[in-house]
Every structure is written in structure tokens, then in C-alpha cells.
């Protein structure tokens, strides 16, 4: 489920934004300051941030910089600061959109949905949770403090599992989506071998995997402490 973090010290406005976007099916986490935002980002997998700039414990641009240095999360600035210099600064620091108050909730909803569609089309680029840091754009994969070398096939498999974390992907679907050239028939044993190699590189105990789990008779799923209960279904 896609989670939106609203960082806004005006509680009434924050609640109004959440209410206006509720019908879109998002989950909302709300905080009124930078400290709460940092804690939320540390413990939750956030899909998009709506960020005010004038906060009780600092300027929201500080948080914007921190987010963009570590993760590829869309950030929409929502602020009363309508000076051209402020807008340019926000965009140059990586803001994906800049909306000034007062604003239309209908326009805000449309612009948030646009950012969400862009993110879905682009797929996940960076995954960071617990001891793992995976950057699929730079092909950098880290477990703890150790860099891991993954083959192209292992990267494809890992990305599919993480993009659909919490869902079960069938063996047939994984084979179809990993070996997409269609040049020859690929035996499902190739998937089993790739799963084993990936587990050997990522799991503490590959024989009892914690992250790449087998759903017997169906396929595989990626699970971590933020995924919650596993559920079967098709990829989204």
C-alpha cells in the first residue's frame, strides 16, 4: 500500500489534505515537525512526501536535501513561501513539485496523483531497509558494510521481488519476466538456481531464508520487517 507522509504544522490543513486524498486509496502518516518526519522516514516505507517549509524546528529544505541524498522519494513542497527565489531553490534541491498556499485541494490531488503515476512507471530505483542498501540505477548492492556483486539475472530477480514485496509472484511469472528475450525455452530450474545464488548472497542462513521466502506450490515473495503479514496476489 502506498504511504504518503504529510509534514505540516497546521493540523487542520494536514487533516484536510488527508481527507481530500483519502478516496485515492493512500495511507497517510502525519507529523508537525522535522524530528517527527525523520523518525517516520526511518521506520516506514514512504512513497511520497508532502512537505511544508516553515516548521517549528527548522526549514523543510533541510529535510528535502536529506531525502534526496539517500532515497528516490518524490517530494512535493506545499508552502506559503511564494518568492521566486524560494521556488527555484526548492526545485534545484530536488523537489518534484512546488505548490504555494492558498491552493485548491482538487489541484493538489491531481498533482499528487501525477507524481504517483511517474513513480509507478519508473519502478523502484533505491531500496533501503535494515542492513540492505540496493541501488538499481547505479548497480550498487550492500549488505551490512559489505558490497555484493550480483549478476544481471540476479538483479532482475531481486528487483521484481522488492517491487512486489509482500506479494507472492508465481514461478511462471518470474521466469517470463526475467528471461524476456524469448529466444529459447527456459527451464524453471534456472529460476531455482538463481534463487539459491541470491539467497546465498543476501541471507544470514540461506537454508531458512528470512527475506526471499518460498510460498510452496506458488512461488516466492520478499519479506522484511516493514512488509507486515504476507499476502498472495498479482503484482501491482
Q: Which residues contact 46 (CB under 8 A, 6 or more apart)?
A: 3, 4, 5, 29, 40, 73
- The one-digit pLDDT tens for each residue of the chain (236 residues) are 689 999 999 999 999 999 989 888 899 999 999 999 999 998 888 989 999 999 999 999 999 999 988 777 889 999 888 778 888 888 888 888 899 888 888 889 988 988 888 777 666 677 888 889 998 877 899 999 899 999 988 998 998 898 888 788 899 889 888 876 444 556 778 899 999 999 999 999 999 999 999 999 899 999 875 443 333 333 33
C-alpha to C-alpha distance for 22 and 105, rounded to whole angstroms: 12
DSSP letter at 65 equals H
Query: What is the dotted CATH code of the domain comprising 152-222?
Result: 1.10.10.10
CATH class of 3-122: alpha beta
Q: Where are the domains of the chain?
A: 3-122, 152-222
C-alpha to C-alpha distance for 65 and 172, rounded to whole angstroms: 41
Same fold for the pair 3-122 and 152-222:
no
Going 226 to 229 to 230 to 233, the CA torsion angle's sign is: negative
Pairing state of beta strands 140-143 and 126-129?
Answer: unpaired
Question: Cα separations (Å) of 182 from 83, 185, 186, 188?
Answer: 54, 7, 9, 14
Q: Are 7 and 52 in contact (CB under 8 A)?
A: yes
Amino acid at each position: 500500500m502506498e504511504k504518503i507522509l504529510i509534514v505540516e504544522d497546521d493540523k487542520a490543513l494536514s487533516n484536510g489534505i488527508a481527507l481530500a486524498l483519502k478516496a485515492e486509496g493512500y495511507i497517510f502518516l502525519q507529523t508537525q515537525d522535522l524530528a517527527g518526519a525523520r523518525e517516520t522516514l526511518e521506520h516506514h516505507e514512504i512513497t511520497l512526501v508532502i512537505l511544508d517549509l516553515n516548521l517549528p524546528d527548522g526549514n523543510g529544505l533541510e529535510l528535502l536535501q536529506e531525502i534526496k541524498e539517500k532515497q528516490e522519494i518524490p517530494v512535493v513542497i506545499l508552502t506559503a513561501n511564494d518568492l521566486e527565489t524560494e521556488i527555484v531553490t526548492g526545485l534545484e534541491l530536488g523537489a518534484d513539485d512546488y505548490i504555494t498556499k492558498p491552493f485548491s485541494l482538487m489541484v493538489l490531488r491531481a498533482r499528487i496523483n501525477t507524481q504517483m503515476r511517474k513513480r509507478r512507471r519508473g519502478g523502484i530505483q533505491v531500496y533501503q531497509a535494515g542492513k540492505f542498501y540496493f541501488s538499481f540505477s547505479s548497480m550498487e548492492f550492500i549488505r551490512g558494510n559489505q558490497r555484493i556483486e550480483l549478476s544481471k539475472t540476479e538483479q532482475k530477480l531481486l528487483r521484481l521481488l522488492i517491487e512486489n514485496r509482500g506479494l507472492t509472484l508465481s514461478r511462471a511469472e518470474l521466469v517470463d519476466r526475467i528471461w524476456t528475450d524469448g529466444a529459447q525455452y527456459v527451464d524453471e530450474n534456472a529460476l531455482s538456481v538463481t534463487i539459491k545464488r541470491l539467497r546465498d548472497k543476501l541471507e544470514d542462513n540461506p537454508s531458512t531464508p528470512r527475506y526471499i521466502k518460498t510460498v510452496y506450490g506458488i512461488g516466492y515473495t520478499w519479506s522484511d520487517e516493514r512488509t507486515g503479514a504476507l499476502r498472495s496476489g498479482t503484482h501491482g
